[in-house]
Amino acid sequence: MSQIMPSARQRKMRTLLFWAVPAVLLLLPLATNPYTQFIANGMLVSVLVTLGFTLTIGNLGQLAFANTAFFGIGAYSSAILAAKLGVPWLLTIPLAGAFGALGGFLASAAALRGIRTYYLAIITLAFGELMRWAYLHAKPLTGGTDGMPMPRETLLGISLTDDTLKFYIFLAVTVLLVKATLNLMRSHFGRAVMAVRENEIATASLAIPTARVILATFMWSGFVVGCAGALFARHVGHVFPESFGMLHLIASFAMVLVGGLGSVLGAVLGAVLLTALPEYLRAFPGMEELFFGLIVAGVLVAMPMGLASLLRRVSPIFVERFYREAP
Amino acid sequence: MKKYISLLAAAGLAASPLLAQDAEWETEGLSDDAITIGVMGPFSGNASSYSKALIGMMAYYDKVNEEGGVHGRKLVAVQEDTACDSAKGLAAAKKLISQDEVFMLQGNSCSGVALALRPTIEEAGLPWIVAHAVSDSISDPLAANIFHGVPTGGANGRAMAAFVLSKPDTSNVAIIEHSNDWAHSYSNPAREYLEENGVAPSLELTMERGQTDATAQVLKLRQEKPDFIIAALYEAETAIFLRDLKKYGMGDIPVMGTAGTDLENTLKRTGDFDTVKNYYVIHSYVDNLDGPLMQPWGEMIHKYYPDEELSTFSFVSIGSAEALVSALEAVGPELTRSKLMAALEEVRDFDTGILSDPISWTADDHQGVKGSAVAGFVDGEPTVLKAWGQPY
C-alpha cells in the first residue's frame, strides 16, 4: 500500500507529539486510584512486550514466538538478582534486558541456521516451553511452582509497592526503549531489518550481513522484552511460571496484530487497548472471553493492518519512516 | 498547665482529620443495611472450574440474607475474576479495595494468585478470609488481617500421615509423588509427621505428571512390601498407579491419596472396583457428598443456584462463611474492620456442621482448620473415616 510520507514540518510535529504524550502522562496519577494506576502500569509493561514481539515478527518478518521466553527470562532474572543477590531492582532492569538479549541470541540460532516459517515457529515455541520447564524445576533458583516473591524495597523513601512511583519508573523505561527502537528502525540497520523481511537473498546480494541483522534484531527484541519482564516482576510483586505460558503469548500476539504488525505505534496502541479491554469487560462476568474475542476479531476484520493503519489514514504524521505494511 | 492543655488541644485538632480518616476506613464498605464483601475467584480461563468453590459461600450469604442478614445488614458480594492469573488477580483486588471499597474480602482459589495478593491485601489491612486456596504461605507468617478458612496443604499432609499411622502395626510406609510443589505441599508435612512419630519412609518414589505406566515404581514397591503407601499424585496418575499396583498383585496394600483426588472419580477412571477398594483420600467434610449430613447443604446450594452440578468443590467455602457470620454476629451492630478481625481471632472450635474439623482462629494462628477426615470404601460403600476403621 502506498503511503503519503510526512513533510519536514509534519515530522517536527510528530517529534513534538512523541514527547507531549509522556509529558501529559506525567499527570495521570492525579486522575487515578490504585486500581486504575495498576492497569496503567500494566499497559506500559505490555507496550514493551508488544514492541519487542513486533520487531521479530513484524519488522524482521520471522515467525518466531520466543517472546514469552524473553519475558520470563527478564522477570526471573530481575527477581533472582533482587531477591537472592540483593541487587536494587532499578539496576536489575538493564541486567534483565541483557539476559533477555542472551535469550534472543539463543532463539536466533534456529533462524541463523536457515530455519524459517512454521518450523521456526515450532522451535521458538519449544524454547518458550523449555524455559517454563526450567522455571518450574530449578526450584532453588526460581522457587518452582511457589514462584519468586520480589523483596520489599524503597526508593527515595517510598516503597516500591507504590503504584504511582512504579508508574513513573515504568514510563521512563518505556519512553526510553520506544524512542531507542524508533531510532533504530529509522537507521541504516532498521532498513536492513526490513530488507531481510522483504527478500533475504536480495538483501544478502547487497553485501548486507543478513545473519548479523537477524541476530541483532532478536537480541534487541530480547533486550526490550527482558526489561519488560523486570518491570512485570515489580508490577505483580511475585513471579510465577504460569505467567509465561501460551496464554500470555497469544495475548501478546493479539496485541501485535490489533495494533498493526511491524509498527511501533501499533505496538503501543495494541498493548494499551488489549490491556484495558479485559478490565472494561469485568462488567460482563462470564462473557469476558466471548466479548474479548469478538472485539479482537472485529478490529482485525475492519482494519486488517491494525489500529495504526487507521491513524495513518487520519494524518501522515503517524506514518513511520521506512515502515511498509507487512505482507 | 494551660500551655500543656493548649498543646494537647492543638495536637488533637491536628490529628482529628487522621482520626476521621481511620474511622472512615474502619467502616468503609458498610452501610446501615449492607456489608459489601469482595469475592475473588477464577470465573474465566483454564482454571474456571475452581470457581465452583465459591458457590457454597455465595449460597450461604443468600441464606443469611433471606433470614434477615446480620444485625439487619445484608451480605452483598461483589465478584471479581482473577482468571487464576496473578496480574489479573491483583487488578481484581485493587479494584475491590480502592474502587468498589468493599468492607472485607473472602474467597480465592489458586494458591499462586493468593500468594501474589498477600502483600497488597496485607498492606490494605482489610479482613480477608481465604476460602479455598491451600498454600500454607498465604497465612504463614501471620498477617493480622489474613485468615485461612480451609485446611491448608500442611494440615492435609499431616492428616494423611495420621490416618496412615492409625492403622495398627504400620511401620513401613512408602511415598510416591510428583516432583512438583503441589505434591510436596502434601508429602513434606506427611513425612515430618511420620518422622515425629518414629516412622521414616522406607521408600520414596517419583512418578511424573503425564506418565502412563507405573510398572517401575510398582516393582520397587513389591520388593519393599510397605504396610501403607502415601500417593501425592494427580487423579489421572493415581488411577494408573492403582491399576498397576493391582496388576502386580499388590492391590491389598492401602494407598493414601490427597484432596486432589476423589474416590468416585478415581473409580470411574480405573473402571475396576478392586483397584480402589483400598484407596483412601483426604475428605474435608463430615459425610459423603450424597450422605444425609451433606444433604441440607446441597439443598441450600440448589435453592439459590438450581443449575449447580454439585461436586467436592461446591461445599468447600461454606464453613468459612459460617465462621464469618458467627464473628459478625458476635461483633454486634457497631461493626468495624478492627472489631471483626478481633472477633475472628476469638473463633474457637467452631463446628461448621460441614467441615470435618472445627475452625479456630487465635491472635497467633490464623490457619483455622487443622485437619481433615478421610474417605475410603468400607464394605463397598464410600465412607468418611476419622481414623483407620473408625467411621466419622
DSSP calls for B214-228: -HHHHHHHHHH--SE
Lowest mean pLDDT among A2-6, B77-81, B256-260, B262-266: A2-6
Q: Name A151's Cβ contacts closer than 8 Å, sequence gap at least 6.
A: A82, A83, A86
Residues on chain A touching B78 (C-beta within 8 angstroms): none
A147: nearest CB among B80, B92, B112: B112
Q: Does a structural domain hold residue B300?
A: yes
- For B67-77, b/e burial (b = at least 16 CB within 10 A) is eebbeebbbbb
The CATH number of the domain holding residue B386 is 3.40.50.2300
CATH of A8-19+36-318, one of 1.10.10, 1.10.287, 3.30.420, 1.10.3470: 1.10.3470
Shared domain for B161 and B250, answered yes or no, is yes
pLDDT at A2 over 60: no
For chain A, the first-to-last Cα distance in angstroms comes to 10
- Find the domain containing B299 and state its range: 34-151+292-361
What gap in Å lies between CA A68 and CA A205, rounded to an integer? 33
User: Is A147 close to B46, i.e. CB distance below 8 A?
Assistant: no
How does the average pLDDT of chain A come out, rounded?
Answer: 90
In sequence order, the β-bridge partners of residue B375 are: B281, B384
Q: Does a structural domain hold residue B274?
A: yes
User: Is A33 close to B112, i.e. CB distance below 8 A?
Assistant: no
A85-129: per-residue pLDDT in tens?
999 999 999 999 999 999 999 988 888 887 878 888 899 999 999
User: Is B84 close to A242, i.e. CB distance below 8 A?
Assistant: yes
User: What is the average per-residue pLDDT within B48-56?
Assistant: 88
How far apart are the CA of B98 and the nearest CA of chain A, in angstroms? 6
User: What is the average per-residue pLDDT within A231-241?
Assistant: 95
Q: Does a structural domain hold residue B178?
A: yes
Provide the whole-model pTM.
0.86
Q: Does a structural domain hold residue B272?
A: yes
Interface mutation vs chain A, best among B25, B39, B49, B94, most A CBs within 10 Å: B94
Which of A241-245, B86-90, B143-147 is modeled with the greatest confidence?
A: B143-147
User: What is the average per-residue pLDDT within B158-183?
Assistant: 92
Shared domain for B201 and B68, answered yes or no, is no
Interface confidence: ipTM more than 0.90: no
What gap in Å lies between CA A192 and CA A208, rounded to an integer? 7
How far apart are the CA of B111 and the nearest CA of chain A, in angstroms? 9
User: Is B85 close to A279, i.e. CB distance below 8 A?
Assistant: no
Question: Given CB atoms, is A145 within the 8 Å cutoff of chain B?
Answer: yes
In this prediction, residue A213 carries a pLDDT of 94
pLDDT at A301 over 60: yes
Shared domain for B164 and B301, answered yes or no, is no
Split at pLDDT 50, 70, 90, the class of B20 is low
Shared domain for B218 and B310, answered yes or no, is no
User: Is B180 close to A145, i.e. CB distance below 8 A?
Assistant: yes
Element at B148 (helix H, strand E):
strand B146-148
User: Is B97 close to A144, i.e. CB distance below 8 A?
Assistant: no
A124 class by beta-carbon count within 10 Å (0-12 exposed, 13-18 middle, 19+ buried):
buried
Shared domain for B204 and B261, answered yes or no, is yes
B274-295: per-residue pLDDT in tens?
999 999 999 999 999 889 999 9
In this prediction, residue B138 carries a pLDDT of 92
Q: Does a structural domain hold residue B201?
A: yes
Lowest mean pLDDT among A193-202, A277-286, B263-272, B324-333: A277-286
Residues on chain A touching B52 (C-beta within 8 angstroms): none
User: Is A42 close to B87, i.e. CB distance below 8 A?
Assistant: yes
Lowest mean pLDDT among A74-78, B265-269, B372-376: B265-269
Shared domain for B307 and B351, answered yes or no, is yes
* Other Cβ atoms closer than 10 A to B330: 14
In this prediction, residue A1 carries a pLDDT of 45
Using the structure block, give the residue that is written with the C-alpha cell 466471548.
A290
Shared domain for B334 and B276, answered yes or no, is no
What's at A170, amino acid-wise? F
- For residues A184 and A55, the answer to whether their CB atoms sit within 8 Å is no
Interface mutation vs chain B, best among A32, A46, A132, A145, most B CBs within 10 Å: A145
B181: nearest CB among A145, A247, A288: A145
Q: Does a structural domain hold residue B65?
A: yes
Q: Does a structural domain hold residue B23?
A: no
Which residue of B lies nearest to A232 if distances are taken between CA atoms? B87
Q: How many domains does chain B have?
A: 2
Better-scored residue on pLDDT, B18 or B333: B333
In this prediction, residue A50 carries a pLDDT of 97
Split at pLDDT 50, 70, 90, the class of B10 is low
Question: Given CB atoms, is A278 within the 8 Å cutoff of chain B?
Answer: yes
Shared domain for B378 and B267, answered yes or no, is yes
User: What is the average per-residue pLDDT within B193-219?
Assistant: 94
Residues on chain A touching B181 (C-beta within 8 angstroms): 139, 144-146
- For residues B39 and B108, the answer to whether their CB atoms sit within 8 Å is no
For chain B, which residues lie within 8 Å of any Cβ of chain A, measuring from their own Cβ? Answer: 43-46, 79-81, 84-88, 90-92, 94-95, 97-99, 112, 115-116, 119-120, 123, 135, 137, 179-182
How far apart are the CA of B250 and the nearest CA of chain A, in angstroms? 32
Question: Given CB atoms, is A9 within the 8 Å cutoff of chain B?
Answer: no
Residues on chain A touching B80 (C-beta within 8 angstroms): 282
Residues on chain B touching A232 (C-beta within 8 angstroms): 87
B375 class by beta-carbon count within 10 Å (0-12 exposed, 13-18 middle, 19+ buried):
buried
User: What is the average per-residue pLDDT within B255-262?
Assistant: 89
Shared domain for B382 and B246, answered yes or no, is yes
Residues on chain B touching A42 (C-beta within 8 angstroms): 87, 91
Question: Given CB atoms, is A242 within the 8 Å cutoff of chain B?
Answer: yes
Shared domain for B66 and B191, answered yes or no, is no
